[in-house]
Structure 1
Amino acid sequence: MMIPMVNEVVRCLEESIIATPAEADMALVYGLGFPPFHGGAFRWLDTLGSAKYLDMAQQYQHLGPLYEVPEGLRNKARHNEPYYPPVEPARPVGDLKTA
């Protein structure tokens, strides 16, 4: 399951073991083989939504501490905050030219 890995990488960010979500995502994609189309654990969390992840992870908390969601992630879920800032398009869609 991905829950222990995601929880641990969030703990690493909270404890300043890693500096940024992007740093962790690059390490997971290039080092552990995390599926690149998901972009890493933090990008995956932002895509899924922290609240949805929290709901999913809480089902497994009885399995032990590895499955306990870190408090920082709980706060993000409560406030609907992403790990990455929203990305604006490089130019308005109406400005794109087609062949």
Structure 2
Amino acid sequence: MGYLASMRTEAKSSVLKRLKRIEGQVRGIARMVEDDRYCIDILTQIAAVRAAMRRVEDEVLRDHVGHCVEHAIRSGDAEEQRAKIAELMEVFARAER
């Protein structure tokens, strides 16, 4: 059973841009902790990072469904289709934990 290993170029570029921004936000939070900033301000920034990570997750998921899952559907290979559905179900199950 094959799979497409890479994201589409435009999705990859967008995801990397978002992740670099998030990386900067996390470094900023570390500085806030080092500088003994107010806890609520730190928590607010942590919530912003979590929201940004959810947007990255959504974008990667959208790309996966529109690229890899679509490929499995078009292939007509029932085993590959079942594998892609099982992968998605596992990802959603892990997210619930």
Structure number with the higher helix fraction is: 2
Shared fold per TM-score greater than 0.5: no
Q: Which has the larger radius of gyration?
A: 2
Which TM-score band (shorter chain)?
A: under 0.3
Name the TM-score, length of structure 2 as normaliser: 0.24
